[in-house]
């Protein structure tokens, strides 16, 4: 089996760190041109673009701002003329206990939903409208185990956002399949990335591995190849699906 995505343009949000960075590196091995989105980490994104080549470029956008999400897709189209695959990977965690002051709790809720769901929704809208004009495209949404298992009350908004992403992906798959649009979810469990540094430090690796059926933590390299396979077209008849990558810590 040969996966050759040369000539394809793939927008990866949150390409500057963790899972997104690894996805960029794996996709680039297929010859794809990657639009590497970042927010604050320009240096990492630029280094990555230089490393992967293939005319890959970096694009800044704060996905907490709706107008920046629309502009991001427009900027990528301006640069490359087309997008073949959208990977909605960027995400953040903003925890709030339920007994936090109401305005503080609501601020955390709104920011979490905006970055983790609304931004992906806006980019999905832009991508689908673009894809139907050119015979199709693929969307790969990086959700979370939390979408299916749920999470602790502090993560209420995060779990809700990731569940919303799953419903969105299924809806797009069902509505636009005949127009060539495919949509998938990848749902990781705990992955060793900067987002989790505080938890690794707090609980320690041994404790976190005890939650898994396998004998080591999941790394970004355990997630990225699935994204390449979904982007390749070999998985098109699985459109609408969600793939768990959680070392059997939560089996549905």
Query: Which residues are tagged catalytic?
Result: 158
| Residue (2 or 153) nearer to ligand NAP, CB | 153
- Binds ligand NAP (CB under 6 A): choice among 62, 67, 104, 205: 62
- Binds ligand NAP (CB under 6 A): choice among 63, 128, 140, 247: 63
- Binds ligand NAP (CB under 6 A): choice among 3, 77, 82, 92: 92
Question: Which of the residues 151 through 190 are near ligand NAP (CB under 6 A)?
Answer: 188, 190
DSSP string for 222-240: GTHHHHHHHHHTTTGGGTT
The structure tokens 């927010």 sit at: 39
Judged by CB under 6 A, how many residues of this single chain contact ligand NAP?
Answer: 28
Q: How far is the CB of 78 from ligand NAP (least distance, A)?
A: 19
CA distance 102 to 189: 29
In the beta sheet, which residues pair with residue 183? 139
DSSP H helices in the chain = 18-28, 42-52, 66-80, 102-113, 119-132, 146-149, 156-176, 197-203, 205-209, 224-232
Site track for ligand NAP across 97-136, x = CB under 6 A: ------------------x---------------------
Stretch that binds ligand NAP, among 1-9, 15-23, 25-33, 231-239 (CB under 6 A): 15-23
User: Among 131, 124, 119, 47, which Cα is nearest to 90's?
Assistant: 119
3-state secondary structure of 55: coil
206 in Cβ contact with 177 (< 8 Å): no
- Binds ligand NAP (CB under 6 A): choice among 30, 46, 57, 64: 64
Stretch that binds ligand NAP, among 26-34, 174-182, 191-199, 230-238 (CB under 6 A): 191-199
Burial grade of 236 (CB within 10 A; 0-12, 13-18, 19 or more): middle
Q: Does 41 bind ligand NAP (CB under 6 A)?
A: yes
Residues interacting with ligand NAP, by CB under 6 A? 14, 16-20, 38-41, 61-64, 89-92, 115, 142, 144, 188, 190-191, 193-196
């Amino acid at each position: 089996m040969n996966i050759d995505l040369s000539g394809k343009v793939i927008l990866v949000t949150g390409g500057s760190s963790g899972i997104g960075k690894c996805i960029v590196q794996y996709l680039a091995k297929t010859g794809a041109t990657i639009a590497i989105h970042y927010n604050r980490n320009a240096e990492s994104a630029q280094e990555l673009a230089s490393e992967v080549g293939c005319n890959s470029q970096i694009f800044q956008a704060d996905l907490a701002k709706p107008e920046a999400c629309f502009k991001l897709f427009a900027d990528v189209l301006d640069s490359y003329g087309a997008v073949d695959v959208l990977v909605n990977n960027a995400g953040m965690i903003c925890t709030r206990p339920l007994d936090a002051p109401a305005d503080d709790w609501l601020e955390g809720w709104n920011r979490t939903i905006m970055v983790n769901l609304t931004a992906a929704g806006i980019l999905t809208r832009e991508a689908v409208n673009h894809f139907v004009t050119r015979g199709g495209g693929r969307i790969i949404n990086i959700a979370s185990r939390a979408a299916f298992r749920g999470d602790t009350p502090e993560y209420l908004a995060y779990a809700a956002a990731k569940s919303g992403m799953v419903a969105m992906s299924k809806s797009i798959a069902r509505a636009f399949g005949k127009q060539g649009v495919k949509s998938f979810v990848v749902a990781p469990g705990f992955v060793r990335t900067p987002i989790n540094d505080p938890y690794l430090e707090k609980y320690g690796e041994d404790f976190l591995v005890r939650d898994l059926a396998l004998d080591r933590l999941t790394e970004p390299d355990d997630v990225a190849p699935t994204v390449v396979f979904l982007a390749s077209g070999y998985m098109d008849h699985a459109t609408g699906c969600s793939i768990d990558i959680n070392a059997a810590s939560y089996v549905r």
